[in-house]
Amino acid sequence: MSVKTFLLPDLGEGLAEAELVKWLVAVGDTIVIDQPVAEVETAKSMVEVPSPYAGTVHELHGSVGQMVMVDSPLFSVLEEGATAPAAKPQPQATVPVRERAQSYREEERAGTKAPAGQGSGNVLIGYGTPDGLSATARKRRPRSGAETPAAPQRTVAAEPRRAPLVISPLVRKLARDRGIDIAAVTGSGPGGLVLRSDVEAASAGTAAAATVSAPEPAGATATAQASAPATAATPGELDARSGLAIASRTPISGVRKTIAQAMARSRSEIPEATVWVDVDATNLLALRASMKSTDPENTPGILAFIARFVVAGLQKYPALNTRIEHNAQGDAEIIGFDGINLGIAAQTDRGLMVPAIRNAQQFSARGLNAELARLTEVTRSGKATVAELTSGTFTLNNYGVFGVDGSAAIINYPEVAILGVGRIIDKPWVVGGELAVRKVTELTLAFDHRVCDGATAAGFLRFVADAMENPAAVLADL
């Protein structure tokens, strides 16, 4: 068939739909293999969907803001050298859904070439292959039929609409927000990859690319909104309850919808209790300052030290590193784990994400620090994997970066506990019977009362607090 219809694939996230955020092409545009065609948002990530076909955009199936179901048509492409059919093309249905989904999963695997006629590898991730923006840089197996291996339409080096080499949707958004034509930006990354610093440099009017900045601390983008853009309300529409005019209506969708559902389920299913304690972190800050003076490049951050103490505490009190499930008979069971996946709450411009350091018990404080930096970066850039975002068994939340002392945190369902860390500030503290000014923070632990009682929760919290107050003694045993 001369018209190829691309169906929204199984994204490998256990989700059945995605929201169409933006079309990057229009009907009649000429595109190349791996050129981004649309931006879609699932409950876990924002991705750009590249085209597995080269040719002319024949039809866009759906409008911006619409929810597109998996295996539904997303767009159709009239392949090069073909003529448009008179009738509207129908989705390819000759391949069973299960076989097609398996094909997509195989395509997602790194280094695997897609079957002929289905485009490039890595399509499910949504970015295409980095070298695939030029169709001449790729080789495809000839399809069965009359197509010849050396078809002239494969040479499209002069394609005027060739997409720039950009992986991160955040970089594209930054360019749009600053009114910069990203196709005109010279990338300083590997293979000409356009980075955030390149867009910032172009915005500032500098000729040289800016230095790549270090990952921001968790929560640095707290003021960004993850919900869908507000739409204007009907003029004169009044709220029946308050009598006030309705100014806007904002749909709850995408990540915000998922967060709302998870928080509501946590509150409705988990009988949580909360304990907290003030901690003198003066010695911990002094220890880190001493290490930084001798080895500034390899000194872990404060959060990495706390994470190491949390891991040790969970090994001592494993009841807080569990999950409640129901067996085939419907009876509740407490599931324990041989390992700790430590989730780190991070605020992004798409909402609160909790990537997890898998098998955190295997890392030192330095190793945890490196993983914290890596996970923060990939999560903010929208490149965190599904496993990284959903595999946590306990969550550590550093809300102190927002300038607050404490929080009645909601447990990250289906986990059974979450530990929050407040800001570290100077406070009066009694030391050796005398008043002194110390660096004090507050630890708050919310836990599922079904898996343990207050004594266990208090024991864990006290262990972490004591470790922060006497870090050298505890680290000697870790």
Where do the domains of the chain lie? 3-161, 164-213, 256-475
Q: Who's near 116: CB < 8 A, 6+ residues apart?
A: 140, 141, 142, 143, 144
**Helix extents (H) in 23-160:** 97-108
CA distance 108 to 445: 39
Average per-residue pLDDT in the chain? 77
Percent over 70 (pLDDT), the chain: 71
The band of 346, judged by pLDDT with boundaries at 50, 70 and 90, is confident
pLDDT of residue 352: 84
Helices first, then strands: H and E counts in the chain? 10, 21
Instruction: Read off the pTM.
Output: 0.58
**pLDDT tens track for 249-297:** 888 877 778 788 888 989 899 999 999 999 999 999 999 999 999 998 8
Instruction: Give yes or no: 449 in active site.
Output: yes
The band of 70, judged by pLDDT with boundaries at 50, 70 and 90, is confident
Report CA-CA distances (Å) from 364 to 5, 287, 306, 339, 371: 50, 16, 11, 15, 11
**pLDDT tens track for 360-383:** 999 999 999 999 999 999 988 888
The band of 185, judged by pLDDT with boundaries at 50, 70 and 90, is confident
Q: What mean pLDDT is predicted for residues 157-179?
A: 59
Does the structural domain 164-213 have CATH classification 4.10.320.10? yes
Q: Who's near 477: CB < 8 A, 6+ residues apart?
A: none
**Catalytic, out of 58, 61, 326, 449:** 449
**pLDDT tens track for 23-69:** 999 998 999 888 889 888 776 566 778 888 889 999 999 888 888 88
**CB of 287 closer than 8 Å to CB of 359:** no
Q: What is the per-residue burial (b if ≥16 Cβ within 10 Å, else e) of 62-83?
A: beeeeebebbebbbbbbbbebe
Q: Who's near 131: CB < 8 A, 6+ residues apart?
A: 137, 138, 191
Which CATH superfamily groups domain 256-475? Chloramphenicol acetyltransferase-like domain (3.30.559.10)
CATH class of 3-161: mainly beta
Report CA-CA distances (Å) from 338 to 313, 315, 362, 390, 459: 15, 10, 12, 17, 21
CA distance 43 to 461: 33
Comparing 130-134, 224-228, 240-244, 451-455, the range with the smallest average pLDDT is: 130-134
In 3D, which of 31, 1, 285, 300 has the Cα closest to residue 143? 1
Q: Who's near 267: CB < 8 A, 6+ residues apart?
A: 410
Q: What is the per-residue burial (b if ≥16 Cβ within 10 Å, else e) of 97-113?
A: eeebbebbeebbeeeeb
CA distance 459 to 318: 11
